[in-house]
Amino acid sequence: MKTNMPLSKPIRRLVAETEQMLDTEITLLRKPDAAPGGTLVDVYSYKVDKNVIIFPASYIGLLKDFVIAKQCTCSSKERQ
């Protein structure tokens, strides 16, 4: 993963697992003017060196919420 954003260890692990499943490197870039649904810039359509997903800055907040919810769910299962 390549990024200049400060990310927590759980988010870094989630991205690492995703990279492993997709067998690709993920580059996280915040672009405030990105399309709300994100944009895939792929090697086939744009003749670039690697696939890149451009997403709005607010999506990092959604990713953090997902990781928090996942941690809470795992923690509650462990208590049962």
Could you tell me the residue ranges of all domains in the chain?
Answer: 9-79
Closest CA to 28 of 15, 42, 46, 13: 15
Amino acid present at 77: K
Percent of the chain with pLDDT over 90: 0
Dist CA 19 CA 30 (whole Å): 18
70 has a pLDDT exceeding 80: no
Global pTM?
Answer: 0.53
pLDDT per position as a tens digit, 15-34: 888 778 777 777 777 777 77
Give yes or no for residue 2 having a pLDDT over 70.
yes
Q: Strand (E) positions, the chain?
A: 39-41, 52-54
- Report the first-to-last Cα separation within the chain, whole angstroms: 35
